[in-house]
Homo-oligomer: A and B are copies of this chain.
Amino acid sequence: MAEKAQKQETDEKAPSGGDEGKYLLKTPKGTRDYNPKQMAIREKVFNTITNSFKRHAAETIDTPVFELKETLMGKYGEDSKLIYDLKDQGGELLSLRYDLTVPFARYLAMNKITNIKRYHIAKVYRRDNPAMTRGRYREFYQCDFDVAGQYDPMIPDAECLKIIYEILTELDLGNFQIKVNDRRILDGMFSVCGVPDDKFRTVCSSVDKLDKMLWAEVKTEMVKEKGLPESVADMIGEYVSKKGGLELAEKLLEDPKLSMSEPALAGLKDIKLLFGYLQLFKITDKVVFDLSLARGLDYYTGAIFEAVLTGDGSGSAGQDINVGSVSGGGRYDGLVGMFDPKGRNVPCVGFSIGIERIFSIVEQKTDAKGVKVRTTETQVMIASAQKNLLEERLKLTAELWDAGIKAEVMYKENPKLLSQLQHCEETGIPLVAILGEQELRDGIVKLRDVANREEVDISRANLVEEIKKRISQS
C-alpha cells in the first residue's frame, strides 16, 4: 500500500515532457522544497513563535540531525519503526532524530544539566505515510519548548499552556482548544474500571482514537479486539466523556471509585492546581480538562496536553470540525534518567508545535486574501533610462549598499527603463533611483516613488538620508 502510494506520487512528479529525462526530478517521498514565497511565510510564523519563546525567558540549543541509533532505541514504542536509519558505511550506527525531546534529554544527561528553559526549532524525520495535502510530511519542523528542573508543582506546566495559547492567538488561526489530562488519571481510571495492568497501553491507544472515531466504534474495538468485558468498556466510556475545568477536577476528587486510586488522586490534585494558575493567566476560556485525551508516547508521566484548531467558522461545515492537532506535549519526569549513568532524573515538561499544518493554513489564508507576499526586502532599484551608464549605476549601488541600504541593480549593460520599473512593481520595491547624463552632470538623482509614480530630484549628497527617511515612513 505504501509502495503503491509512492509509485503514484513518483509518476505525478516526474517531468511531464515527452523526453524521458536523465534524472527523476523530484524530492524524496514525503518531503518538499520551500519556494521564496513559502519561506517568507515560514519566516513570519517562526518569528511569532520565537518571539513568544523569548518573551518567556527561554534560551535555545541545537543538536545534530542524527543521533547514535541506541540513543533513540526504546523511546517511542510502536513508532520506532518510523525511524530513518543511516546506512552502515563503517563506524557508528546512526538514525535521524524522530523528535526533539529525546535529543534534549540526551543533551541534559550528557552535560549534567539539572535546570534549563530552552526552545529548539528544527526538522525531525518520520517514515510515516505522508498526507502532504493535510500538512503531514516525512521531514517536518517542530518548535519545542521545554522546562527542565525541580520546581514547585504545575507552575512550568501552566506556563507551557500560556505560551501555546499566546502563539495560537497571535498566529490568528481561528478558534482553538487546548485539551489537558494526566497520564496518572488515565492509569487510575483504567485500574478502577478493572482493566488488567498489561492492557493499560493498548486500551489507552483505543481511547486516543476518540478524536477521530465515535465512542461506539472505540467501544467495539475495546471489546472485540482487545477483549475487555462490555461492562468495563462502558465504565471507561462514562469517564472519557467528561470534559470541564477546575470544577470537574474537584468533582472527580470526590468520585467514589476514582478516588480509590492514588495515581488518579495525585493527577486530579495537579489538574486542580493547574487550573488555578490558568485562571491567573486568564486562559481558561480555551483550556479544557478532557478525560479522553490520551497521548501515545511512552515517556509521559504526568500532565499531557494537546491543542486542536476548531475552525473559524469561515470554512464549510466539514472543515470546521477538528482541523487537527497543532501542538502537543506533557510532563516526562523519567526520560533524562534513562540516559544518566546513575539513573538520576530531571523532571521535565514541554510541548511541541507542529508547524507544517500551520504553514499550510497561513499560506491558504494569504492566498485567499489575495495579499502579495514580498520575498525580498529591497528598498531601492538603481536604474537608468539611457545607455552606457552601467558603471555609474554600479557605483551608486555600491554607495547605497555601503550605507546599509537594500539596493538592487539590473545585471545588464543597457536595460530598458520600462523593464526596470516593471521589476519594481512585480517584486514590491518601493523606490527607484534614476540616473541619466544630465543628472550625473548636475550631481543629482531622480528618486521615483513606485506606488504613485512621483519623481523628485535629490542631490547625490542627500540621497542616502532621503531614502532612509522614506523607508522609515512607509
Interface residues of A (CB under 8 A from B): 2-3, 6, 15, 17, 19-29, 31-36, 39, 42-43, 54-68, 70-71, 84-92, 94, 96, 106-107, 109-111, 116, 118, 123, 125, 127, 139, 147, 149, 151-152, 155-156, 158-159, 162, 166, 276-277, 280-282, 338-339, 341-342, 375-378, 390-391, 394-395, 398, 401-402, 404-408, 411-413
Contacts and interface: CB of A to CB of B under 8 A. Distances in A.
Contacts of A21: 341
A82 to B, nearest CB: 10
B59 A36 contact: yes
A198 to B, nearest CB: 24
Contacts of A55: 401, 404-407
Contacts of A111: 33, 35
Contacts of A68: 23-24, 26-28
A15 B85 contact: no
Contacts of A391: 276, 280
A15 B341 contact: yes
Contact of A92 (B20, B29, B85, B92): B29
B280 A70 contact: no
12 contacts: A17-B341, A25-B106, A26-B68, A33-B64, A34-B62, A39-B62, A65-B125, A84-B89, A85-B87, A86-B96, A155-B412, A281-B398
A127 B86 CA distance: 12
A17 B92 contact: no
A57 B152 CA distance: 50
A12 to B, nearest CB: 13
A87 B162 CA distance: 41
B61 A27 contact: no
A339 B152 CA distance: 59
Nearest to A55: B406
Contacts of A405: 55
A94 B28 contact: yes
Nearest to A122: B123
A343 to B, nearest CB: 8
B341 A156 contact: no
Nearest to A399: B282
Contact of A33 (B61, B71, B378): B61
